Structure formats: C-alpha cells, structure tokens
C-alpha cells in the first residue's frame, strides 16, 4: 500500500482498495497505521463530484530523508532528497584524493553539510548511498577494483566511511548507479533489458536485466575494463592492474589516438571539439575510439542480448554524438546483433540520481520495518 500511494501521488481509500485488491476495512486499518506513523498524510479531497469528495492521501515527503553521494576521481557530489525523491539540496566539490584518509574525511563532511543546507540535522537522514568506482565484495566487506582512487582497496575503508557518516550506509559501483539513474530518469526509462557503457577515466558496464540491476556473485558484473581486448600486453603488470580494455578505450586512450594521428590536444574534450570542426586527425581519433567501443559491445551483446546500449561517462558526455556513427558502423562489421544505441540523457548527474534511487529504496524499507515493529509492540502490549 505504501508503494501504491507513493506511485499514485495522491489517492483515496476506495482507489487504494480497488488497485490493491484489499478489502476497504483492511485498507482503512492500514491507512490508520500509516497516518499515525507519519508515513502518509491527508492532502485534500477529490473534486468534481456532488457533495464532499473522498479524502486523498499521499506519501509524507518529510517522513524520511536520504543522501546520495557520487565519489569520483575529479568530483565528490552530494544530493539530499525527501522520501518522494525530490532533491532539495546539492553540493559539488573537487575530490580531495591525496590519500584515502582525506577522501574519507571529505565524504564524512559533505553529507552533513548538504543536509544543513536544507535546515536538517544529520540524524534526520534515514539512509545514505555512496557511489564509487570500486566494487564492494560482500563476503569480505572490501572495496576493490578502483585503481583511480588512492587506498580504495585498503582493509577497514568501508568501516571508516560508515563510522564517519554515522547513518545507515550502502555502497554501490558508480557505473551500476549510472544505469539505475538512466533507468529512473534517462534513456533507460521503460526498457527492461539494457546496458550502460561507461567510458571515462575508467571503463565499466552497468547491466539491467528484467528491470533489475545485475551485480554478479561478487558484485563485479560489468567490469569490462578487464576484458582482454585491445592493443597491448595483457600480461603486463600495470596493464593487468587497470585492465587491457580500459587501457585501450579510456580517456587516456583517446589522447594517445589523437597524438598518434598528429593532433596536439590536451584533453579528450579538445579532441572532440576539433572533430566537430572537421579536423582529419581528430576525426581519425574518434573513429579509433568508436571501433574500440564497438569491439566491447560486440563481445557482451551475444551474452546479454540487451535491447539498448547507452553510452555514458566523460567520453560519451563530450563526444557521444560523434561516436554513435563510428560505433554503429564498426558494430555492423563485427556482429550480427544490433542493439539500439543511445547517449546518456543525464550526463554527470546519472550516478548521483542512481545513488538517490538506491538510498530511497533502502530508506522506504527501513521506515516500513520500523512501522511494522511498532505495530507488533502495540499488539503485544
């Protein structure tokens, strides 16, 4: 019923009974409990009928608060949302990545700061989700596979972040969160099977199957940066640490391709800007990157058979429109599979929106559990 009321926006008792299939007395009893716990509130009456309209109910926006964090190599972003998902405060800071300790301190401070911006005490926040480039190994409680953040795989890091934040906290890979963000608000809306291909400082794949995020047994599903694809020696220790495909297709690889083509550019953004001006060397670098991205798509599509592949991350944000053509042409040469291709609609915001959505799901469950426990205690008493 709580989820039904949330998705409806505002709804009457009779409509809740009709949609849920529950009896009106059951709905009335449950609504009384939700009202007493302040999870639901009255929001007015139906109009357009003779006589007083039925009372309408909605999820109480202030019954819970969540924070989503996006911890990246360049930026730490934070968003505070009420329980309906409306973002009410934002903060963006340059990442203090000199060491794991400085980054943990920054993570622990930015959450309370963004809550204070909305006039809230940190204790009012129900749940926080931390998006990061690593993978949380659930069996060992370790964050791993994040070579771009210093000390991110150290034992005790998860505990240190949780101690610093001081609220109920969950961790999720940033590419997974970007996929969830696009599912909720972007190019993945209404698509049950799709992949989010992140190309930036790192490379990764967010996989949504049957409308649900697929993490794998150790949380590492989609770590395609480690695919043995691309130029280079997969046995080289430095390459093995980052992954051969990541070495071949990341932002640094775009710069190498540009230099090899004779273009003097300082950033991938500059490469794409030159390509838009029609400079041959830049266009050649874009074609190389497109071919490498197509190679990865050709490798995963026969396994997952997605309807859609969304290109995201810094490279797609800067030049996704330029890459779609080369990717599609190369994919046609490599594979008989033709998933629909799209560029991220959320850009830099995808991870943050995904973190908020995960935190909301956890907070709603925690709030409902508290209400259920209260009801049990009242029955016993």
The CA distances from residue 252 to 94, 202, 245, 285, 289, in Å, are 20, 9, 12, 12, 11
In 3D, which of 40, 98, 107, 105 has the Cα closest to residue 76? 107
d(CA 143, CA 146) in angstroms, rounded, equals 8
The CA distances from residue 26 to 17, 113, 367, in Å, are 8, 42, 20
Query: Can you list the domains of the chain with their CATH numbers?
Result: 2-59 (1.10.10.10), 63-178+350-368 (3.30.420.40), 189-345 (3.30.420.40)
Cα dihedral 101, 102, 105, 106 in deg (nearest 10): -140
Q: CB under 8 Å, gap of 24 or more: what pairs does 85-89 form?
A: 85/356, 85/357, 85/360, 86/61, 87/356, 88/118, 89/114, 89/115, 89/117, 89/118
Q: What's the pLDDT tens digit per position in 340-363?
A: 999 999 999 999 999 999 999 999
d(CA 283, CA 277) in angstroms, rounded, equals 9
d(CA 221, CA 205) in angstroms, rounded, equals 8
Cα dihedral 270, 272, 274, 276 in deg (nearest 10): -140
Q: What is the pLDDT along the chain (381 residues), one digit of tens a residue?
A: 888 888 888 899 999 999 999 998 999 988 888 888 888 999 888 876 666 778 999 989 988 999 999 998 889 999 999 998 999 999 999 998 778 889 999 999 999 999 999 999 999 999 999 999 888 776 677 777 777 777 777 788 888 898 989 878 999 999 999 999 999 999 999 999 999 999 998 899 999 999 999 999 888 899 999 999 887 777 777 777 778 999 999 999 999 999 999 998 889 999 999 999 999 999 999 999 999 999 999 999 999 999 999 999 989 888 999 999 999 999 999 999 999 999 999 999 999 999 999 999 999 888 777 666 555 554 444
In 3D, which of 135, 153, 161 has the Cα closest to residue 67? 161
DSSP 153: T
Question: 238: how many CB neighbours lie within 10 A of its CB?
Answer: 10
Q: What's the pLDDT tens digit per position in 11-36?
A: 999 999 999 999 989 999 888 888 88
Question: 304: how many CB neighbours lie within 10 A of its CB?
Answer: 19
User: To which H or E segment does residue 41 belong?
Assistant: strand 40-45
* pTM of this structure: 0.87
The number of C-alpha atoms within 13 Å of 108 and in the hemisphere containing its C-beta is: 16
């Amino acid at each position: 019923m709580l989820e039904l009321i949330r998705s409806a926006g505002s709804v009457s008792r009779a409509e809740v009974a009709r949609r849920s299939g529950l009896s009106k007395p059951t709905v009335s009893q449950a609504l009384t409990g939700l009202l007493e716990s302040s999870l639901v509130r009255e929001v007015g009456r139906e109009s357009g009928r003779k006589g007083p309209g039925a009372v309408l109910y909605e999820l109480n926006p202030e019954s819970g608060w969540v924070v989503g964090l996006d911890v990246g190599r360049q930026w730490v972003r934070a968003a505070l949302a009420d329980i309906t998902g409306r973002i009410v405060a934002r903060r963006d800071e340059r990442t203090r990545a000199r060491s794991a300790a400085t980054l943990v301190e920054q993570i622990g401070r930015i959450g309370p700061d963004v809550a204070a911006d909305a006039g809230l005490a940190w204790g009012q926040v129900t749940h926080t989700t931390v998006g990061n480039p690593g993978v949380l190994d659930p069996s060992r409680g370790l964050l791993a596979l994040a070579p771009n953040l210093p000390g991110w795989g150290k034992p005790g890091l998860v505990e240190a972040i949780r101690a610093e934040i001081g609220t109920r906290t969950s961790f999720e890979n940033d590419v997974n969160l970007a996929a969830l963000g696009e599912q909720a608000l972007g190019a993945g809306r209404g698509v049950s099977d799709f992949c989010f291909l992140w190309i930036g400082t790192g490379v990764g794949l967010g996989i949504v199957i049957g409308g649900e995020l697929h993490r794998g047994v150790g949380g590492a599903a989609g770590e395609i940066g480690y695919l043995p694809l691309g130029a280079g020696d997969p046995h080289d220790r430095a390459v093995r640490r980052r992954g051969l495909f990541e070495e071949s297709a990341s932002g640094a690889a775009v710069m190498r391709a540009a230099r090899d083509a004779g273009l003097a550019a300082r950033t991938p953004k500059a490469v794409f800007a030159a390509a838009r001006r029609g400079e041959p060397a830049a266009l050649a670098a874009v074609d190389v990157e497109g071919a490498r991205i197509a190679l990865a798509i050709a490798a995963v599509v026969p396994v997952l058979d997605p309807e859609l592949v969304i290109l995201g991350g810094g490279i797609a944000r800067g030049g996704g429109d330029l890459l779609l053509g080369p990717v599609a042409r190369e994919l046609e040469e490599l594979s008989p599979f033709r998933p629909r291709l799209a560029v991220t609609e959320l850009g830099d915001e995808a991870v943050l929106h995904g973190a908020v959505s995960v935190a909301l799901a956890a907070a709603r469950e925690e709030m409902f559990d508290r209400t259920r426990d209260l009801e049990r205690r009242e029955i016993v008493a």
